Amino acid sequence: MPIHTHRSHFSSHKLAPAMSAAFATLLAFTTLGRCPAQQPTPGKAKQTPPTASPWVSVSDDVIKQLTDAGKKIGYPGVTAGVSVDRTTGDVNMIVPDQGVWRRGRQDTTFTRIDNGKIGGRCETGYGINVDPMGQRMAFFMLDGQSGMTLDNGKTWSTFQQHGRGWDFGAVDWSQKSPQDILAIHHESGQELYRSADGGKSWQLLGKDYTAIGIFDSKAYVASKGKGILRSTDGGATWTTVSDITPTGRVLCVVKGIGYWLTSEGLLISKDRGETWKRQGSPLEAAWGPFFGKDEKEIAVVGRKDKEAGLWQTEDAGKTWKFMAPFPEYKPNTPPDWTPSKQWAAGWFTNFGWDWKTKSFYASRMGNPTFAYKIK
């Protein structure tokens, strides 16, 4: 049954953690490398991922090509973003200030596809907003041009620049030609902006927003770090609709159903955000959800029984299987999963999943893009 919670008009409040503490937390997210050694949880059997190749770089040839051509890769170097189109298997990779590079499911090399329209880098794991029905995507970039494509990269439209750019954003993919967009402005006190004209102009809605989503032009949802808010008037007013707090930065809407990650697994809404209920068994998650061949096959990045990495379900979350370890960072520290710091997860690193080839992809800004293929 849906979880019905008390409704009240929202009054603004600020997140407690100081920026210095937040920065210290985020420093735990450092260099991507090979698979970390996974330690078993005391009293529990260690879950072993399926046989797979280690995390291996797939971006070396692109970086060499650009370097040999004298092209300057922007800060922080190498790559800074990746996503996968579930319908085609296309891997789309960000090279700072050198745009969007694509490798098809059957290809062995990457080719730039954005016609010079996209710049900068992805600051968070939600800097790329992909239509789960395929072949449409938006890029919310930092220190460079943002924009989107509605025809699988053939043509591009750019967003009006705003300051240094965006941390993450959500597009109304229910529209054939999306007009409604929400985005969080970088280093602004988490300012939420709305566009009603496809990114041509922006309107400030408020501050302190930690998660956002769009069902359609009449139903926005968001969080300020506690519970879920809903607006039916373009963000002018908000009403509290749930006490459950999302950990995923951006809502994913598939066939009208909203899927949001929480510290206890999947949260869904079938009525455009009016009511919410938990789906499946508990799992702490911060990246995703990524959908496979249907809405029952889902992958997320998170932790279960202290085993951090990529998890997959084939029964809509009733059971979860550990598929791949979290990419190694230096120092060898996984994300901080404690509730008070959960908001920091989802930053700096992007993930993608090709369900058909059983391949996971990861890109931590300033490092190569890696692939992990299940044999």
Q: What is the pLDDT along the chain (375 residues), one digit of tens a residue?
A: 444 433 333 333 333 333 344 333 333 333 333 333 333 333 455 677 776 668 999 999 999 999 999 999 999 999 999 999 999 999 999 999 999 999 999 999 999 999 999 999 999 999 999 999 999 999 999 999 999 999 999 999 999 999 999 999 999 999 999 999 999 999 999 999 999 999 999 999 999 999 999 999 999 999 999 999 999 999 999 999 999 999 999 999 999 999 999 989 999 999 999 999 999 999 999 899 999 999 999 999 998 887 889 999 999 999 999 999 888 756 545 666 555 454 456 888 999 999 999 999 999 999 999 999 998
Does any domain span residue 34? no
Does any domain span residue 17? no
Q: Is the preceding peptide bond at 76 cis, omega within 30 degrees of 0?
A: yes
Mapped onto helix, strand or coil, the DSSP state of residue 254 is strand
Does any domain span residue 308? no
Does any domain span residue 8? no
| Single-letter amino acid code for the residue at 87 | T
Strand partners, 342: none
Tokens 């809605």 found at: 205
| Single-letter amino acid code for the residue at 261 | L
**For residues 315 and 299, what is the distance between their CA atoms, to the nearest angstrom?**
11
pLDDT at position 216 is 97
Q: Cα 352 to the chain's mean position, in Å? A: 9
| Single-letter amino acid code for the residue at 45 | A
Does any domain span residue 15? no
CB neighbours of residue 161 within 10 Å: 12
pLDDT at position 308 is 86
Does any domain span residue 20? no
In the chain, how many domains are there? 1
Distance of CA 175 to CAs 22, 105, 259, Å? 36, 27, 18
Distance of CA 37 to CAs 26, 42, 44, 248, Å? 21, 16, 17, 26
Tell me which residue range forms the domain holding 85.
53-278+353-373
Does any domain span residue 7? no
Does any domain span residue 5? no
CATH no. for residue 222? 2.130.10
**For residues 96 and 366, what is the distance between their CA atoms, to the nearest angstrom?**
9
**Phi, then psi, of 63 in degrees rounded to 5:** -65, -40
